[in-house]
Amino acid sequence: MTRPFHPFEALATQLLPHSSTSHNDGSHDQSHLQRVWKNVCAIQEKEGGDLRILLAATVLHDCVAVEKNSPLRSRASTLSAEQAQHILAKIGWSGQDCEAVGKVIQSHSFSANIRPVSLEARILQDADRLDAIGALGIARCFYTAGRMGSGLYDPCDPQAQHRPLDDKRYALDHFAAKLLKLAEGFQTKRGQEIARERHERMEQFVQDLLREL
C-alpha cells in the first residue's frame, strides 16, 4: 500500500487542506507534493535534516497559488512562506519552527532567486527542482504550455537560431531558457546525482524531437 507522506501522514492530512492543491493546475496538484516528498526523503536519507520541518515545508511550499505568467511570480515563494507560518502558528507550532519552515519555503523557488541557507532549505529546493526536470519535467512543461496557450515550437525556427528565446510562446524554448540550466544549480550531493540522470533524459528528448521535426 502506498503511503505518500510516510512517516508524517497525520501531519500531512492536517496541512493538505491549506496546500492550495485544489486550484486548477495539474502540475502543482497533490501528486506534485507527493513526488517532492519522495525526492526530499531520497536526499534526506543521504544528507540528514529535520524531516518534520521538511514535511511541513513540502506540503505548504506552494500554498499561495501564483500563475507562471503572473507579475507576482517572483514573490510566490515569499507569499507562501508567510502564509505557511500563519497556518503552522494556528495549529500550535512554536515561533522558531514556524520561522524555520518559512525560510525553507522562501528560498525553494527558481523565480525568487534566494540562496538557501539551511540544510532543509537546500533539500527542498533540490527536491522541488527535481520534479521540474527529467521525464516529469518534460510532461509538466508541455502541460503548462497548454494551460498558458503556448505553441509546441516555432515552426520556422524551432531551435531559436535566428530569434530570441521566447518560452512564453513556445514550449520547446523553455528547455534552453530554463530546464536545461537547472541541473547546474543543485545544492546537495544526492540532488546533483539524481539531477544529472534527469538532465540527460531531457537532452535526449530534445534531440529526438528535433530529429522528428
Q: Give me the pLDDT at residue 75, please.
A: 75
Q: Kindly state the cell numbers that stand for 145.
A: 504550455
Whether the per-residue pLDDT at 204 is higher than 80: the answer is yes
Compute the average pLDDT of residues 83-97.
94
Residue 21 above 80 pLDDT? Answer: no
Interatomic CA distance for residues 161 and 176, integer angstroms:
11
DSSP 1-56: ---TTTT-HHHHHHHGGGS-TTSS-TTSSHHHHHHHHHHHHHHHHHH---HHHHHH
Return the CA Rg of the chain: 17
CA distance 145 to 171: 6
Mean pLDDT score of the chain, rounded to an integer?
90
**pTM of structure:** 0.89
Q: How many residues does the chain have?
A: 213
Report the pLDDT averaged over residues 167-196. Answer: 96
What are the pLDDT digits (tens) for 116-150?
889 999 999 999 999 999 999 999 999 999 988 99
- For residue range 184-200, what is the model confidence (pLDDT) as tens digits? 989 999 999 999 999 99
User: Which domains are seen in the chain, by residue range?
Assistant: 1-120 (1.10.3210.50), 132-213 (1.20.58.1910)
